[in-house]
Amino acid sequence: MTSAAPVKTQYEAIIGLETHCQLSTETKIFSPSSTVFGADPNTHIDPVVMGLPGVLPVLNQKVLEYAVKAGLALNCQIAPYSKFDRKQYFYPDLPKNYQISQYDLPIAEHGWLEIELVDKKTKAVTRKRIGITRLHMEEDAGKLVHAGSDRLSGSAYSLVDFNRAGVPLIEIVSEPDLRSGQEAAEYAQELRRIVRYLGVSDGNMQEGSLRCDVNISVRPVGQEKFGTKVEIKNMNSFSAIQKAIEYEIDRQIAAVEAGEPIYQETRLWEEGHQCTISMRMKEGSSDYRYFPEPDLPPIEVSVEQLAAWRAELPELPAQKRAHYEEMGLSAYDARVLADDRTVTEYFESAIAAGADAKLATNWITQDIAAYLNAEKLAITDIALTPESLAEMVKLIDAGTISSKIAKDLLPELLTQGGSPNAIIEERGLSQISDPAQIEAIIDEVMAAHPDELAKYRAGKKKLQGFFVGQVMQRTQGRVDPKLTNQLLVKKLNG
């Protein structure tokens, strides 16, 4: 009698994200140097940034406003009293050898963020709430520019640019509620949508405005105790976040099953090799030797100021999606529209001008989006105004023009603008909807193609499309397509 095969252990990943988001202020968090991206290396620096003797930091009030608004948008409790701390560590891109951050009294805590997961095949949407542990303010470090051939081969070297040092950051720390690379990538994307809606950050990952560090461990399903946590850095896209997590889950499970130790360490994502590599052993909070920042006073946010900032919050992505679904749009369409605040403003302006919501959505998410992607433009760059789009949609809805005529006009409207109605009247492009006129055109087409007509009547019904095409060609696409098909079927089978 053979013994049963052992049951294979199932594992789950425990994932949390630490997201650093640069704030879109004109000057740095504690000094007047510019925050503009792309300047020559080491030109946006000053004595405060470099920590020279005798200088004192002064908090940029816009940083506090942006941090509080971000905290409110993430459903956090805003602290009436918080403070700054010094975080000590020694690294080439940190000119003072300490970072001014917040430790035990952050500006915001105990929030949450809802993510939406879309099934790529069915387009079905599921929702999950992710806890936010804290949001705090801090200054950014400089940037190491890695050169040479390859970190893996040991032949690389680094240069340092201090322009980024002192740029204001908020760090948003999630609860370990994420369970997959897809969930983590969607969480990061929703965070970016929120900060962009608020106008507190541009969220450009390629410029380092939004950077995510992933904390990940694995454990057998059903076990309460967490496994050993590993941090992954150096991910500059949402796809990199997902790929790095998926790789690390597989690596850690393989190590556990082989009886190998997992170290609490910081690893890097190597895009070229599609793997994580060890960078350094992970520090604990005691290694940073936090103590209150002696050169900055505590922060107090009054009830009145908090209420004023709350009143300035815009409708956020999740609220937009819910609102659009109430208008009758699918969850998928609502998600596509709400991804970009400028697109939502364009859409809502078109609706206010009288456009049907579903028809406007189709034009914005399909034909207009395809043009924007091909030309690498934003919706604010096109000449077609929301009011003109509404005018065109109403012309289609009224049967004045066909969708084909509208599609033919779209390239001109996108680049030159103008009134669709005026163009249609000027060029005589209105749709032919008179049954007698359409029947006469069908008669002409049938008379011109006797062989195809005979074949159709002998059973080749697919030739109906041929006759439709001929009618469209003779009228430059101006006939009502639905009515044309109905009349054509009658005539062909008559």
Cα angle, residue 428 at apex, residues 424 and 429 outer, rounded to 5°: 60
- How far apart CA 459 and CA 344 sit, in angstroms, is 50
Distance, in Å, from the CA atom of 178 to the CA atom of 159, rounded to the nearest integer, reads 35
Tell me which H or E stretch contains 472. Answer: helix 464-474
pLDDT at 431: 66
DSSP code of 398?
T
Ordered by where they begin, the domains of the chain are: 11-305 (no CATH), 315-427 (no CATH), 435-492 (1.10.10.410)
User: b/e per residue, 374-402, with b = 16+ CB within 10 A?
Assistant: eeeeebeebebbbebbbbbbbbbeeebbb
Nearest to 337 by CA among 351, 321, 315: 321
Q: Please state the φ and ψ torsions of residue 208, each to the nearest 5 degrees.
A: 85, 10
For residues 115-142, average pLDDT: 92
Contact yes or no for 292/83 (Cβ under 8 A)? yes
Give tens-digit pLDDT for 96-110.
Answer: 999 999 999 999 999
pLDDT score at 426: 80
Query: Would you say 213 and 141 are in contact if contact means Cβ atoms under 8 Å apart?
Result: no
For residues 121-148, give the mean pLDDT.
Answer: 90
Q: Are 337 and 343 in contact (CB under 8 A)?
A: yes
Q: What is the per-residue DSSP string for 114-140?
A: EEEEE-TTT--EEEEEEEEEEEEEEE-
- Looking at residue 149, its pLDDT comes to 59
Rounded (5°) CA angle 296-300-306: 135
pTM of the model: 0.85
Q: Which residues contact 399 (CB under 8 A, 6 or more apart)?
A: 431, 433, 480
Q: Choose among 210, 174, 183, 185: nearest CA to 195.
A: 210
* Helix (H) or strand (E) run with residue 275 in it: strand 275-281
Phi-psi region of 478 (alpha: psi -120 to 50; beta: other; left: phi over 0): alpha
| Whole-number pLDDT of residue 3 | 58
- The answer to whether residues 326 and 315 touch, using CB atoms and an 8 Å cutoff, is no
Contact 432, 471 (CB under 8 A): no
What is the mean pLDDT of the segment spanning 111-119? 92
Structure tokens at 183: 């969930």
Position 240, amino acid: A
DSSP string, 326-389: HTT--HHHHHHHHTSHHHHHHHHHHHHTT--HHHHHHIIIIIIHHHHHHHT--GGG-S--HHHH
User: How many Å apart are CA 477 and CA 471, to the nearest integer?
Assistant: 8
**124 vs 351, residue with greater confidence:** 351
For residue range 373-420, list pLDDT tens digits in order.
999 999 999 999 999 999 999 998 887 888 888 998 999 999 999 999
Q: What is the pLDDT of residues 435-493, one digit of tens each?
A: 777 778 887 878 888 887 777 777 787 877 887 788 778 777 777 777 777 777 787 77
| Greater model confidence, 400 or 60 | 60
Helix (H) or strand (E) holding 44: none
Cβ atoms of 163 and 143 closer than 8 Å:
yes
Range list of H helices, 222-272:
238-257
Angle between helices 464-474 and 435-448 (to 10 degrees): 110
**What 3-state DSSP class applies to 471?**
helix
β-pairing, 230-233 vs 265-270, is parallel
Of 201, 208, 267, 195, nearest to 236 (Cα)? 208
Report in angstroms the alpha-carbon separations of 430 from 273, 445, 469: 58, 21, 18
DSSP result, 410-442: HHHHHHH---HHHHHHHHT---B--HHHHHHHH
| Residue 66 pLDDT level (bands cut at 50, 70, 90) | very high
Tell me how far apart the alpha carbons of residues 180 and 128 are, in angstroms, rounded to a whole number.
12
Q: Is the pLDDT of residue 5 over 70?
A: no
- Using 50, 70 and 90 to split pLDDT, how confident is the model at 187? very high
